[in-house]
Structure 1
Amino acid sequence: MATSATSPAAIPPTSPGTSSATRRAQMRSALQAAGMLPVLILLAIGFHLAGGHRFLTAQNLSIVAQQASINIVLATGMTFVILTGGIDLSVGSILAASAMVALMTSLSATVAWLAIPACLGAGLLIGLGNGALIAWAGLPPFIVTLGSLTAVRGLARLLGEDKTIFNADLSFAWIGNDGLHVLPGVVLPWLAIIALAVVLAAWYVLRRTVLGVRIYAVGGNMSAARLAGINVGLVLMFVYGVSGLLAGLGGVMSSARLYAANGLQLGQSYELDAIAAVILGGTSFVGGIGSIWGTLIGGLIIAVLSNGLILMGVSDIWQFIVKGLVIIGAVALDRLRQKGNART
């Protein structure tokens, strides 16, 4: 008599190795989804305990949010660029030059209302210049933006004749020194609100638009993207334009917070913090892999690290050393992630 298709003999046994592999895959997926969030939480708790229970207070968390906001804005633009396999080393210099434009415009009674648009426009223009050299002239992003880092820094110093420009009556100073009063005694800084709005807008572009799909495609395989009919040049122009525009927004935020701008010092090494935030957040240096939410977590880790070290009384010399080690660690982590993806 024929054996029934549903008989126990026809059902293959489930081996212990299969279930173990499934559990490992599930654990790996959970760790990838969590990203660096557990590290952020552990850092916050550790600094709270080591810093005299001063870290996790409403006042200090508000300061951390302010400190993180500018870096998160810059890192958001950097995420767009790195997703295409590029790099933008000029964002700190663009921030300084844009802030100088904002302060100089604000001091003119006739065009003071143009301070913010002029600042954003300056950043966008420089970013598009970088994009044009990379997309149409075929120059390497590292070389182009390294040159821009130096040249635009010189421009920033030239604009202010190597002096700090002040404006005690800055019309948009509220952006950097006020906030939204959500509850009695709880104020959400406008800087943090702007940073969150930028992150949400970036998430929408990257995850809900055709343009976002094309950005990931260009970073994944530029040659294949061209063969698929994607205008790679326009995508590169877009991402470097966004990076420049958000660096200009960083200039607005910085000058609003300080009532001043300086072409020599403002924005120094900001590009390193932005790159560290992006890589800590899981975006791969080779492009095509990453998320804006990871960048947000990475930016918060950098801010928590800086604030926590200050609360612990660590000198600024050691703060530079620790930040440098974090950047090296971020790149090493990216390499490990690449090897893990290659194995799976």
Structure 2
Amino acid sequence: MTRAPASLAVDHLSHRYPGAAAPALRDVSFRVAPGQRVGLLGPNGAGKSTLMRIVCGFLPVQARPETKVTVAGLDATSQSLQVREQVGYLPEQVPLYVELRVREHLDFRAAIKRVPRRARATEIRRVAEQTGLAEMLERPIAHLSRGYRQRVGIADALLGAPPLVILDEPTVGLDPNQVLEIRAMLKSLGGGQTLIFSSHILAEVEALCDRVVVLAQGRCVADESVAEALRTSEVHARWEGPPERATAVLAAAGAEPARVEGPVADGGTARATIRCADAGEAEALAAAIGRASLAAGLPTVRLEIGRRSLEERFYRLTSGEAVPESMSEGRGAA
């Protein structure tokens, strides 16, 4: 059973729970292309679960003239049932009928999802193999470890090959081995289904995702590729030669002295870090340094745009403060 992956478009979405002092979501907008894997990030209370529940149809869209949520081109307000048929959802607290065997639970859930009776056995085998449950189908859910229960929940979300799969904290509470196994399983989904998942394990998001959407206090504060999230506005350079020659190269490339750390001697080489206003300026400066080094006959050992951790990017976006030195130590020219 296969279906083409779905797109997701969220435009000017806000949501306020009855009696709440502040809205859970404030004018959120972003796009997800078919087949993309998107990490939904944010501190506790940022609105992630609310957003996922709205996309899944668990919560209604609180419509304003400019608000629109569409899945595979279907409007979540006027075509709610059709949208739900496009989405597989794993909530943070996995609802399982623990008195049933794995096969019985999945069969019941497949019936609810309108998987044709004649196709259910094949579909259950498919999702069981995909999630590592093939040997557990006759095991009572009550006898499973937490990791295997989580797999049952993910298998449930995958039943019927939904074009959009949304997973809320799929590895929460698992031990490191279970986390690695679930992560490998999610990676194996490839681009066959659009995947959105929330996680507080940022290394997991970095390893699995094409894009990240970051919420803070109900607002979308970033919607960018993982590569963009990890890229900084620093250029790191190292040359085979003395610092004096490297300084001349930087001057020829147009690097402002006030933004340059170094060059300093380092074991027969010279290294420097140059701070730029933004990533675009860093790319242009790196190219200029490369040309100037070539013209000066000074071999480059390293010339690249800096890289930060997703933790640093997340901290800056959600706290509004400078990254603590302990978080960024160890970066810089190698």
Shorter-chain TM band? under 0.3
Bigger strand share:
2
For normalisation by structure 2, the TM-score amounts to: 0.22
Structure with greater helix share of residues: 1
Higher relative contact order (CA 8 A, sep 6+): 1
Looking at CA atoms only, which structure, 1 or 2, has the larger radius of gyration? 2
TM (normalized to structure 1)? 0.22
